[in-house]
Structures are given as C-alpha cells and as structure tokens.
Structure 1
Amino acid sequence: MLPISALSGAPIVGRATVASIRLRLPLPEQLPPAVRDHIEAHAGSQNRQYLYVPSPVIADQDASAPLCAFVSIDYASDAETELVEVSRGKMLKSFLKQNFSRDADGDQILAALFHMVEHLPCYLLRYSDVVAAAQALETAFANGDAPSLMMPVLPAVENVELGWGDSEPDQPLVRRAQATVVDLEGEAFGVSADQRNIVHLDKGALRVLGLFDVRTREREVVDILSAAFPTVDAAQIENDVSGAVRRFRRAGLLVAT
C-alpha cells in the first residue's frame, strides 16, 4: 500500500516511496521463472517471515498519482481469482481498525478516510495465484481513469471539552447538534460535526445513541433497554451502555447538559 496524501483543501493522491517489496516467506511455488530469477538476483535483507527485494520498475521518490479505488486483498490457497465490489461501510470499518499513520493528526486521518471511502469504489481481491491477481488488477484499472478527488477544507474545530472519563449515571446527556449518523451501504457510523471523529455503530450502539436524541440520563437508557429486552442480563446491558456512552463522549457525539 502506498502512502496517501490528503491535506485539507488539496488533491488526494498516492505517493511513491521507492521502498523495497516485502515478500512473505516461503515464496509461492507457482511464481513465474522470470520473477523467481529476479528475486534470487536481487534478494536483500530477510528474516524468518519476510524477504525484501528491490522492484525492477519503480516510480521516483514522491511521484504521485490520483486514487481510483480501494482494494482489499484476501489470499487463500484454493481461491479462484476474482475482483468483487464490497460495501464502502465495511471498507471504512476495516480502515479504522488498520490505520497506523504516524505522520498526521488522528482527526485529519479520520476525515480523509471518511471522505475517500464515500467517493471511491471499493473492491475485494480474492486470489491464490499472484500472477492471475496482478492481471486481474491490470485489467480492471487498465484505462487509468481516476477521479480528481479533493480533500475538503475542514471546518474549524469547535472549542469544546470532551468527556473522557465515565459519565455519572444521573448526568443528563444529549446528542451534540450536527453530530450525524451516516449509513455507508449497510454499515452505520456516528460522525462528529467537524468529521474529525468517527465511531462504527453496530445495532446495539445505534440503538443506544438514538435514545440520546432527547435529553436523557445513562441510567434511564439502561432502564429502557432492560425493559425492552427482559431476557438479557441487566448487568450486561448496563456494561454495554456505559461502554457505548464513553465512546460517544470521546468522539464528541454526546454532550452533558
């Protein structure tokens, strides 16, 4: 994966790093002879898991190109090669778990991910044959068409104090004005007003957040859900609600009143 540059108000592009290719060991038996010859001739550092090899053709440092899609890869030894569209919501959920950038603020990263996934197609590549996988990608994106995607200028951050600790069960809370719930092809996300905080919402979390559309206490939410789901352990409901409220407050979705 190439680093992505997504500065506020600037084009969103992928940038080349001239980094060596990292290959997982052992190497696949079905590698073409030319590929295996190159690896053997240019093998670099390695450990028990990975071998680093310079690419035979690589872009210059910091060369850039617009993004045309996101592709998640899934290897299985018996898989047929196929490139299929996947839900934007599932792709965003995957990004939120995997992102490991050290060069940008967390709020900038979240806003960029959300904007990109909203506007670019998302795919899953299943494969067992690496050559067939490369050919599938080349065929799918051969025309090189890519939208000119700009990162919007982020609004000014509201000067508010977020609740980082546990809330008091008797403290009234309400969903912050302009904090929204966005559905991305079947996956729900709570998004702060400035798009700098994003929380994935499963059905339970979505239900809890909805109860704070009006001024409500955490204890009242527990009572409502306990009455609605009498077969569920009350202590479990209380624990789930407390955890959800903490996440919502940290993301700026809820505010004390």
Structure 2
Amino acid sequence: MTACDNAQVTEGVRHMRAPYPVVQHLTYPGLDGAVLLENAPEVLDALNGLMVGWTPEVTISGSDTQGPDGATSVSLIRRNGDRMDLHSPWLDKPLAGLQVASAACGVVADISQAFCNQHRGCLGLHCGAVQINGHLVVLTGPARAGKSTLISRMTAEPDMTVFCDDILPVLEDGLAFGLGLAPRLRLPLPDTVTDAFRAHVDAHMGPADRRYGYLCGPNIAPHGTRAPVRAFIVLARGQDVPAQLHRMEPTEAVQHLVRQNISAPGEDTAHFDQVTRMVEGVLCLKLVYSDIEDAVALLRRAFATDGLPALGVAVAPPLPAVIEPVVRPPASLALTYRRSPHVAVREVQDDLFLWHATEYSYFHLNPVARAIWAMLEEPISGQDIADLLSEFFQDVAPAQIAADVASLLGAFESESLVQPAA
C-alpha cells in the first residue's frame, strides 16, 4: 500500500474563512523555498495523498509575510470563499476558483518546475516514464496522444515502476529522477477502457474533481528513485490500428526532446548538448496504437529482453517525421477570443511553444500561428483575425484563410490556450 492509497478528496465541502490567516509553510527536502497554504489545510492532505516518499516539514504562522514572488516562496494557495486561488511565480495572474484537487495540481506544477530550475544541469522533460523489466522507458508525444492515460494504465502492472506522467527531471549525471508524484488521469474514463482498469481506478483514486483525478497505484517510484533512460518513445495515437513500434531517427528524437524541455531559460545550449548525449545512448522509437491494452502488451513484450538494444518484438521502418495531429472542431469566427491567463510562452531557438500551467499541454507555433497568437494579445474576433491575414496573403482565397483560422482557434480552444472573451 502506498502513501496515497485511500486519499480520496471530494468536492462540495464548504469551509468558513478563519477570522485571521493561518498559513502553513511546507518545506520539501531538496527544494529551496516553501509552499504556502493560507487557510487551506485540505490541500496539504491532497498533496500528502498524491506524493510518495516526499513529505514536507510543516510550520504554521498567523500571517503571510512572503508572497509568491519572494525569494522563499515556491507557490501560494489562498482560500477565496469555498474555492482557492493559486499564486505562482510562473503565472502572470492568479489561477482563481480552484477546487482542492486542482489547487494541489497547481502546486505540483510549481514544485516540479522549481525542482528542475533549482538543480544545476537538470533537464526537465515533459513526458511520462515507466520502468519495464528494469529498463526506464520515456513516453512523450503531442497533446491528447494518450500519454497520461497510458502511464495511469501501467500503475495496474505490479512488475512495472511508474516514474512520472508529466515531468521527469534528468540530472547532471544523466540519471532520471523520480519526484514521487502520482499520475493525473483525465475524467471521466473513456468508454473503451476495460472493466479491470476501471476497477483499478476505483480502488486507487486519490485527490480528484470532476475533470481529473490522481491515480495512486501501488507501483509509483518513491521520490529520489534514480535510473538511466534506456528508451525514448513518441506516441502516435490513431484509429483502428494495431500497436506497432517503428524506428525513429536520432535527429527527430532530439527535436522532440528539446521541445519537451521545461527547464529554466538561458541554458538552451547546455540542455541541447545534454539531449544529444542522451539520444546517442538510447533506443529511439515511435509507438502507433489505438487500443491502450494493445499498447501495454506490446511494450511488455518489447522490453522483456534483458539485453537492449535487442527488443522482444519486430520493429517497423521509420514513419514520416511529421504525423498529422488530431483534428479538433473549428471555432466560431463570430466569437471574440482572448488568451487564457494560465498560458506561459517558451522560446527554444527559433521555435515558440505555449505551455498551459494546469492542462500540462504544449503547443508548437508555426509562423502563421505565431502571428495569430500575437493578434490575441488583446481580445479579438476570429473574423477580424481572418480579415487581417487576408490583407497580407492576398494570393490565398479569403475562404481558405477563414477556414484555417477557425481550425487553429479550435485547436487553441480545445487545449485551453484561448477562451471566448466575456
């Protein structure tokens, strides 16, 4: 039984605000600075429920003298009625109106980012990671590729060890470091999952709300567990396709890993060198799949062998470097849109990426998408965006531009990067 078994947190409990602030200061080993919880003790219960082997020292004060921008604060949760607000050094504005599980999620994002930033030479990868037969396998891919669901499914495999579903620090010595965080599962579960997995979720669900729940399975690597990365796999979820591994060129693997880097800015060259060294010593593969059980079974067979790079399954030739993304419903051009306040912008060399602080999603912007994102600095209608682009691309039919804008805004909206303006 892990520390996060039976740590169910439900919504609907109302708390009267204390007549004066009671601030819990959570100091985690290996992390500079504290997490501050103002009149939010249930968030500490949730954090303790979803963490394995990473327990904070808790002190209490009657006032909050150090805000989130101060040198000793990593994250601040402040009660606001029966909900909570997250104040984060990585957000321009507070994240307001959160339930317990979402508030804990925000804290987890902050301490994961802080851990990677504070450790010299640490490469923070946005990915999932699981140890199969002693081989640490890193899984990543585009948004909605099924990474978190696949990792959560692997918490039901007692002979596998789950390192993470979101952030994997790779330290200066080249070893991956497990933070001891349970994977977060999107709810409700798809109708296609098996009854066995559904029962596993029911038995091990930790802090949860309507949209997400932390799946506290018995095989989560405790905080501080280290292992070398043996394989890097990009997920490509399709429809009605058997699970199949394909070889991937190292150059493409480097591009994926650089784009998944969430470490502190200013170290791009060092991180690029670190990624290059990592790719040189690991298997680089793509996993095409549609059924999660099929994918788990394939990975189990593939890494059953003790001597990598030999695998226990046949590996198909490389796929084209670009895989078509999942198509999202187009947005209405009649609506006015604005940027979500929870989105951070990251620039890696000449590439621009959007990072959503609570949805854990990346979005890579091509030049046209960058132009549209720039237009969204102030609220603007989809039609106005299309009209402005038509002035610059007069050789393209306005109807085609309008369709492209609707498609991109639909993708932005589906990833919670933009929202209709009030």
Output the TM-score relative to the length of structure 1. Answer: 0.50
Bigger Rg over Cα: 1
Of Structure 1 and Structure 2, the greater strand share is in 2
Output the TM-score relative to the length of structure 2. Answer: 0.32
